[in-house]
Amino acid sequence: MTLPANDTDTPSLTPLLTPGELRHAVPVSGVARATVEEARAASRAILGGHDDRLLVVVGPCSIHDTEAALAYAKLLKSARQELGHHLEIVMRAYFAKPRTTVGWKGLMHDPNLDGANDLNLGLRKTRQVLAQINDMGVPAATEYLDTIAPVFLGDLISWAAIGARTTESQVHRELASGVGCPIGFKNGTSGDVQIALHAIEAAANRHHVVTIGEDGLAAITETAGNADCHPILRGGKEPNYDAASVNAACAAVEKAGQKCAVMIDASHGNSSKKPENQPIVSSDIAGQIAAGDQRIVGVMIESNLVAGQQSIDAKPLRYGQSVTDGCVDWETTQEMLMNLANAVSQRRQQKQRLAG
């Protein structure tokens, strides 16, 4: 490849495998395809008010150990079976991490956790673990940080988020307009919900974007627009999970001419990045749901096999513990899920009483 004269200081160029090559190497089974399709349909129904369950995106802050991720998925499968009448549980499976300055960028970029940044291997490992999770009947959710990721992985994703740092990005709004799954836009890091509402409006429209085809060649794609986008309250300078914040967010949503269907992140700004605060946040959310609030359609939880967080440089790494944001452990997660399921049950009862 010939570089422009002003780019001759580029240290190296490594060929990227094509989306077609990766899909051929790691195909989607019939079970996995059904898992994705059913979870997307369920998520759309919840967002549209046609399914009164709660959409719960729960799992590791990021996946760095695929063996531990599959062990977590096995536990989540049992939770889906037990609580499925009240919750549509989707596993948080994040493979690309935004960094405030520098740091480990996720399994997709640095699969060996050694700074080698073998992106081709990372894409293979990411697609493989996504396929295995979906083969278990557990749908997967992720954050789309790299704009090329949907071409390689999108057929295995049931729900996706655009993070607080990228919600204002035009290319991410265009990305959201062309993917096949519901998308949640987080409020800005300052707490500004209006940024997410602008993103939702933009993503609902058609766009012409430059992307990669199955053969790896650049292509111009006309997106169809995505009607299944919604805001995520993740806190900012102050938490925004409480009833007053939900009311304020919904007032802004309705003023923008959109239907109020919000997801609340129990982590990040809402927990002050302290995992031990997530159950407190989740309990408050559950209380609002139990009181009959129909506008809260989803919750996000950062959870892992083991509580807390460890340094990526720890030798050896502790099995089942996050190397990015701190998480709650599985036992605490079970309690949070049960509490949310009970809240959905109480919301139904409240609705029936009012109707009858």
CATH code for the domain of 276:
3.20.20.70
Tens-digit pLDDT profile for residues 205-247: 999 999 999 999 999 999 999 999 999 999 999 999 999 999 9
The one-letter amino acid at 201? E
Give me the pLDDT at residue 11, please. Answer: 66
Higher pLDDT among residues 8 and 215, named by residue: 215
Tens-digit pLDDT profile for residues 157-216: 999 999 999 999 999 999 999 999 999 999 999 999 999 999 999 999 999 999 999 999
Beta bridge partners of 298: 55, 263
Q: How many CA atoms lie within 13 A of 86 on its CB side?
A: 20
Whole-angstrom distance, CA of residue 196 vs CA of residue 216: 31
Tens-digit pLDDT profile for residues 114-164: 999 999 999 999 999 999 999 999 999 999 999 999 999 999 999 999 999
Give the model's confidence band at 98: pLDDT under 50 very low, under 70 low, under 90 confident, else very high.
Answer: confident
Whether 8 is in a domain gets the answer: no
According to DSSP, the β-strands at 183-186 and 208-212 are unpaired
Average of per-residue pLDDT across 42-67: 98
Tens-digit pLDDT profile for residues 311-350: 999 999 999 999 999 999 999 999 999 999 999 999 999 9
Name the packing angle between helices 66-83 and 330-355 (round to 10°).
Answer: 30
Give me the pLDDT at residue 311, please. Answer: 95
Whether 296 is in a domain gets the answer: yes
- Count: domains in the chain: 1
Give me the pLDDT at residue 6, please. Answer: 58
Whether 7 is in a domain gets the answer: no
Whether 6 is in a domain gets the answer: no
Average of per-residue pLDDT across 259-277: 97
Whether 238 is in a domain gets the answer: yes
Whether 94 is in a domain gets the answer: yes
Give me the pLDDT at residue 87, please. Answer: 98
Give me the pLDDT at residue 103, please. Answer: 81
State the residue for tokens 């700004």. Answer: 269
Whether 307 is in a domain gets the answer: yes
Whole-angstrom distance, CA of residue 110 vs CA of residue 141: 20
Whether 2 is in a domain gets the answer: no
Whether pLDDT at 12 is above 80:
no
Give me the pLDDT at residue 212, please. Answer: 92
Q: Which domain holds residue 213?
A: 16-355
Neighbours of 267 (CB within 10 A): 26
Whole-angstrom distance, CA of residue 231 vs CA of residue 164: 11
Q: Give the residue among 111, 120, 171 at the shortest CA–CA distance from 145.
A: 171
Average pLDDT of the chain to the nearest whole number: 95
Give me the pLDDT at residue 354, please. Answer: 86
* Per-residue CA distances from 255 to 1, 266, 304, 336 (Å): 50, 25, 38, 33
The one-letter amino acid at 61? C
Whether pLDDT at 8 is above 90:
no
Give me the pLDDT at residue 122, please. Answer: 97
Residues 6+ apart with CB under 8 A from 165: 98, 189
The one-letter amino acid at 34? A
